[in-house]
Amino acid sequence: MSLLTLSHPRRQLVVMARWPAAGRCKSRLGVGIGRAAAARIQRRLSEHTLATARQVDGAELVLAVSGLGPRGARRWGHNLGVHRSVLQGDGGLGSRMARQLARAFGEGAQQVLLIGTDLPLLASNDLEAAFAAFASSSLVLGPASDGGYWLIGLKGCRLSLLSGIPWGSADVLRLTLERAAAEGLEPALLAQRSDLDRPGDLEPWLG
């Protein structure tokens, strides 16, 4: 059982993670360094992300898992120190993200942050800044250097922001900002970060 304290139970911090099995994660990274090495890196990234997230006080920490069944997901989440684990479900990235946001708001959450496990330099103050940004905006985005975003935060369920986005392209952030503007939202933007997809992305982390 997690020892994390929930002083703000209506906040959820959802970490989307894939079980780090060889050949089942980081396919683009595996092309350069091999499937087994890619799986080891993915495991380290998952552990780093959850260790960082555990430092954030006052939010329910939920691990959204792909690549495992319910029992395995619960066991992995227990080992990573989360409050609970859920399954991501089927579909593309946008569908899986929307499912987690809908679940969180359906459970009564009022502020939800959604992140992945591809951020070697993620720090707890990044996540704390995201929660703090809800004071001035109902949409929080963490721009990524590849044109996407490393975090999305919502205060209120606005799943239309995820619909029709070409995930994995360099247009993700731009199109999300355009959609937000069309819906009358002024997002709070966090610091830009770089995620980890290819062997060259490892250099800043291992150097």
Going by pLDDT thresholds of 50, 70 and 90, the confidence category of residue 24 is low
Question: DSSP string of the chain?
Answer: ------S-TTEEEEEEEE---TTSS-HHHHHHH-HHHHHHHHHHHHHHHHHHHTTSTTSEEEEEEESS-HHHHHHHHHHHT-SEEEE--SS-HHHHHHHHHHHHHHTT-SEEEEE-S--TT--HHHHHHHHHHTTT-SEEEEEBTTSSEEEEEESS--GGGGTT--TTSTTHHHHHHHHHHHTT---EE---B----SGGGGHHHH-
Q: What is the pLDDT of residues 42-60, one digit of tens each?
A: 899 999 999 999 999 999 9
Domains in the chain: how many in total?
1
Q: Is the pLDDT of residue 145 over 70?
A: yes
The pLDDT value given to residue 205 = 46
Tell me the per-residue pLDDT of 95-105, one tens digit each, with 9 for 90 and over.
Answer: 999 999 999 99
Percent of the chain with pLDDT over 90: 71
Residue 167 lies in a domain: yes
Q: Once rounded to an integer, what is the mean pLDDT over residues 3-25?
A: 74
- Examine the pLDDT at 154 and tell me if it is beyond 80: yes
What pLDDT was estimated at residue 206? 46
Q: Which domain holds residue 86?
A: 11-201
Using alpha carbons, select from 128, 171, 135 the residue that is nearest to residue 155: 135
Q: What mean pLDDT is predicted for residues 154-173?
A: 93
Cα separation, 134 vs 82, whole angstroms:
23
Flag whether 171 is in a domain: yes
- Residue pLDDT, tens place only, 102-131: 999 999 999 999 999 989 889 999 999 999
In a domain? residue 6: no
The CATH number of whichever domain residue 30 belongs to comes to 3.90.550.10
Confidence of residue 28 (pLDDT cuts 50, 70, 90): low
**Domain assignment present for 124:** yes
Sign of the Cα torsion 38, 43, 44, 48 reads: positive
Query: Is residue 3 a part of any domain in this protein?
Result: no
0.85 surpassed by pTM: yes
Phi, psi for 125 (deg, rounded to 5): -70, -20
Q: What is the mean pLDDT of residues 135-146?
A: 95
What integer pLDDT is reported at residue 125 of this predicted model? 96
Is 32 within the bounds of a domain?
yes
Q: How far apart are CA 191 and CA 55, in angstroms?
A: 19
Question: What local confidence, expressed as pLDDT, does residue 31 receive?
Answer: 53
Any domain includes 193: yes
206 within domain boundaries: no
Q: Is the confidence at residue 30, as pLDDT, over 50?
A: no
pLDDT band at 14 (very low <50, low <70, confident <90, very high): very high
